Structure 1
Amino acid sequence: MNWKSAIKEFKNYLQLERSLAGNSIEAYIHDVDKLQQYLELSGKNVLPEAVSSGDLLDFLQYIGELGMSAQSQARILSGIKSFYRYLLMEDIIKNDPSHLLESPKLGRKLPDTLSLPEIDELLLAIDLSTPEGARNRAIIETLYSSGLRVSELVELKLTNVYTDIGFLRVTGKGNKERLVPIGRDALKYLNIYIEQIRCHVPVKKEFENYVFLNRRGGKLSRVMVFMIIKELAERIGLQKSISPHTFRHSFATHLIEGGADLRAVQEMLGHESITTTEIYTHLDRDYLKQIIKDYHPRS
C-alpha cells in the first residue's frame, strides 16, 4: 500500500470509526505526513508497511535535532503509533514498528561526539571547487570552531562577524546575545566564502546581511544544514548518526578533555543566565580567545 492510500484510509478510520474532531484528525494526518516527508528527504523510499523501528528512531532523532521540543516529539510519536496500530488492526502489517518506542524524555541524549580525525575526514570530503563546497566548508568549520547552535549559524549576520578581533556575535535562546571566539582556520574559510563566493550570489531582498545563503540568494535553512552534514557523513561512510549539534557537542567535549576551564566553555556555549551585559563580568574576551588557542584541536 502506498502512502497516499494508507493516509487516506487512516483518515477515514479516524472519522468514521473513532469519530474524532476535525482538528484531532488533521493533527494525526500531519504527524504521518511528517514521517513520510522525512523518509523521502533522507532517501528512504519505503512503503508504510516496510518502515522499521530503526527508521522511526531516526525520524525522532531528526525532529529532535531540528529543535523540536520533547513534548512536540511525544505528540508526533503518539500520532505515528496510532497510524501503525491501525495498519496492524487492518492486517496491512504483521508487526508494529512503533510498539517499543518510548516518548522522548525532557533530557534528550546528546548525539555522538566526533574525533578530530573524523572531523578532518568530513572536511576533506568537501569539494572546494564548487561555490556550495566553499560555503559548506565555512559552515562546518564555524560550527566546530565556535560551538554554535544550528539556529545561531543560519541567523549569523555579516555585521556580527568581527574579523579583526576573531569573534562572532550570536543570538542564542531567549534572544540573548554573546560574543564567541572563532578559530584561525574557521575564520580563514569564512572569509574565503564571504569575499570570494557569497559576493557573486544574487541576494534576495531582506537577506543582504545574512552570512550563509542558499544558491537562490535566500537564508539557508536549518534543514539544509542538517542534510549537508548527513550527506558528508554518508560520503565518508561514517557509521555515527550526526547532526549540526554533534559539532557543538564535540566542540565542548574536546575543549574540556583538553583541559579548558569549564566556566569558559559554558560561557562560549551560551548556557542559561548568560546575557549580553553579564557575559564578560567574570571572564574577559582575551581569556576566552586564549582558551580556543590553547585547547581547540583546530586552532
Structure 2
Amino acid sequence: MSATVNFYFDTRKQKKDGTYPVKLRITYQRQQRYYPTEISLTDVQWDKVCKPKPREDFIRDTKALLDSFSNRAERVIKNLPVFSFDEFENRYAGESRAKPDHVFALFDAHITQLKSEGRAGTADSYQCAANALLAYHARKTPLSWSDITPQWLKGFEQWMLTKGRSITSVGIYLRSLRTIYNQAIEDGVADRDAYPFTKRRYQIPTGRNVKKALTLSDIEKIYHYPAESMSAEDRARDLWLFSYLCNGMNPKDMARLTYQQISGGHIRFVRAKTERTKREVKSIAVAITDDVQRIIDKWGKKPVRHSSYVFGILTPGITAEREMALIKQFVKTINKYIRQIAEVVKIDKDVTTYTARHSFSTVLKRSGAPIEFISESLGHQDIRTTESYLDSFEDDVKRQYANVLTGFKNSK
C-alpha cells in the first residue's frame, strides 16, 4: 500500500486576517500526518480552489501552487524504497533546502528536471522564456524574486512588442515565469505577499490568434493539386491532408502513430500533449475513410509490424531531444511544400500543419456539428478551448443570413 497525498483545510483556529491554514496531509496505513504549506485561505477561497476549473487569477495560481506541493510530495514518496514518515520528512525538507534562490537558477533546475522526464519540447519552451527574460534583464547580477514587480513585467511586455514579438509569445513566456515563481514560493525563496501575478497587480496578456482555418473550397484545391507522384511535394500534401482528415492530428502524434493503434476501422490515440496530465484522459477515435486508408497504404512503412511507426518519421529507442529534432524537421518540411502548393493554387493564407487542425474544427462547425462533438474529436478537456479554435463563418454564409433580414423583399 502506497502513501497518499491530499490537503486539509484546518478550520480549528482562525487567523487574525480571517483565513485558515491549508496543510499537506500524508496518509499511510490509516496514519495521518500534517505539514504546513504557508498558504491560508478563507472559506470561500477554499471552496473555489477545490473546484476543477477556477477562473480567478488568485484562485488559479493558489491551486497551481498547491499542486506543486503535492507533486513534490508524490515525487518523494515514489522514490522511497520503503515508506516511513521519518524518511519522507527528511527527503521532503531536503528537496526544499536544495532549491536555487534566484530566477534563472530555478529556471535551469526546472529545465533539467523536464529533460530528465523526457519532456524535451516543454523544456525547450521554458528555455526560450528564460532566454528572453535574460535578454531583457541584461545585467551581470542575478535576477532576484524581488525584481519581479508589476512594473518590471509591464516593461518586459513592452520590450517584447518593440522587438516585434507577438502578444501571444509574451503570454507564453510570462506563464512560464509564473510557474517558476510559484515554485519559488513553495521552496520558501520568494515572498508570497509580493506575488505580482494578480488581477490588481499585473495580468498576463492573452493574444487572440489570427484565424488559420481554410474554407472548404481552399481545401479542395489542395486535395486536387497535381503533385508529381511519390515526390516530396506529394508526400507533404498527403500528410497535411492526413492531419486534416484525422481530427486535426498534431504532427507529434502523427510521428508517434504506430500500426497497433489502427484497428477495427479506426485510429485510436492519446495526444502527447495531454498524456502526462493527472486527469483521466480519453483516447481519440478517428474513423478511417477511404482517403485516410489510401494515405496509410501509400506512405506507411513496410513491412507492416504491430509496433512500427506508420510514417517512419521516428525510430525506436531515440532520446527525447532527438525525437523533438526529428519532429521539428518533419514539420518544417511539410510547411515548406504546403506553402508552395497554397501559393500555386492561390490560397491567400499562410498554410501550415497548424492550419490543418484549425480547418478540421472549423469545417465541422460550418457543417452544423455540435461543439461537444468537435471538442471530443480534438481531445480538448474544456469546450472553451475548442471555441478559441473555431473560425468565423465564410463571407457568403454571412451574406446569406444578412439577406434573411430583408426576406420580405423576395416575397413580393
Q: TM-score, normalised by structure 1?
A: 0.51
| Residues 122 and 99 of structure 1: CA distance in aligned 2, closer, same or farther (over 3 Å) | same
Residues 46-100 of structure 1 show CA distances to partners (whole Å, capped at 9, x for unaligned) of xxxxxxxxxxxxxxxxxxxx888876554444466689xxxxxxxxxxxx99535
Q: Which has the larger radius of gyration?
A: 2
Instruction: Indicate if the aligned counterparts of 2:339 and 2:352 stay in contact, CA closer than 8 A.
Output: no
Counterpart selection for 1:179 from 272, 277, 284 = 284
Q: Deviations over 1:73-128 (max 9, x none)?
A: 54444466689xxxxxxxxxxxx995353543254544511112222323344635
Question: Which residue is 2:22 aligned to?
Answer: none
Larger strand proportion of the pair: 2
Whole-Å Cα distance in 2 between the matches of residues 80 and 125 of structure 1?
45
| 1:94-105 equivalent positions in 2, closer than 5 A | 98-99=162-163, 101=165, 102=167, 103-105=169-171
What code does the residue aligned with 2:170 have? P
Residue 263 of structure 1, CA deviation: 0.7
Q: Which residue of 2 aligns with 1:252?
A: 361
Deviation of 1:264 (Å): 0.9
Is 1:169 aligned with 2:272?
no
**1:158 and 1:210 in contact (8 A); partners too:** yes
1:229 has 2:332 as partner: no
2 CA distance for matches of 1:82 and 1:234? 40
Question: How many Å apart are 1:192 and its aligned residue?
Answer: 2.6
Preserved CA contact (<8 Å) 1:229 1:244: yes
> Quick one: which amino acid aligns to residue 99 of structure 1?
K
Gaps of 5+ in 2: 1-103, 109-120, 139-159, 173-205, 276-280, 384-412
- Is 2:286 aligned against 1:209? no
User: How far apart are the structure 1 equivalents of 2:235 and 2:229?
Assistant: 11
Shift of 1:267: 0.7
User: Residue 209 of structure 1: SS of its match in structure 2?
Assistant: coil
1:185 CA drift (Å): 4.3
Q: Which amino acid aligns with 1:161?
A: I
Contact 2:212–2:354 (Cα < 8 Å) also in 1: no
Task: Say if 2:265 is the partner of 1:160.
Answer: no
Change beyond 3 A, Cα 1:127–1:76: farther
- In the alignment, the residues of structure 1 paired with residue 289 and residue 308 of structure 2 have an alpha-carbon distance, to the nearest angstrom, of 23
Output one character per residue of 1:194-222: Cα deviation in whole Å (capped at 9) or x when no partner. 5xx63279x9xxx9611112499998624
Matches of 1:223 and 1:126 in 2, distance apart? 24
Structure 1, unaligned runs of 5 or more: 1-22, 28-65, 84-95, 275-299
One-letter amino acid of the structure 2 residue matched with residue 156 of structure 1 = L
Name 2:11's counterpart in structure 1: none
* C-alpha separation in 1, matches of 2:137 and 2:333: 28
The one-letter amino acid of 1:149's match is N
| Secondary structure at 1:198 match in 2 | coil
Aligned length: 193
2:221 to 114, 121, 124: 121
Which of 238, 245, 251 is 1:150 aligned to?
251
How many Å apart are 1:265 and its aligned residue?
A: 0.9
CA deviations 1:229-284 (Å, max 9, x no partner) are 2322134314422332211111111111210011111111111279xxxxxxxxxx
Distance change (3 Å), C-alpha of 1:76 and 1:273: same
Q: Distance in 2 between matches of 1:126 and 1:132?
A: 13
1:160-215, Cα deviation, whole Å (9 max, x unpaired): 122x42x2111213314513223524323223325xx63279x9xxx961111249
Q: How does the TM-score come out when normalised to structure 2? A: 0.38
Q: Which amino acid aligns with 2:301?
A: R
Residue matched to 2:301: 198
Asked whether the 8 Å contact 1:147–1:249 carries over to 2, the reply is yes
Identity percentage over the alignment?
A: 19
Give 1:144 shift.
0.6
Amino acid across the alignment from 1:243: T
**Helix, strand or coil: the match of 2:212?**
coil
Q: Determine the C-alpha separation between the residues in 2 that align with 1:131 and 1:82.
A: 48
Alpha-carbon distance in 1 for matches of 2:137, 2:226:
41
Using the alignment, how far apart are the partners of 1:184 and 1:257 within structure 2? 20
- Preserved CA contact (<8 Å) 2:236 2:338: no
For residues 136-181 of structure 1, give each alpha carbon's deviation from its aligned partner in whole angstroms, at most 9, with x where no partner exists. Answer: 344222211122122211111111122x42x211121331451322
CA distance in 1, matches of 2:365, 2:258: 28
Determine the C-alpha separation between the residues in 1 that align with 2:161 and 2:226: 36
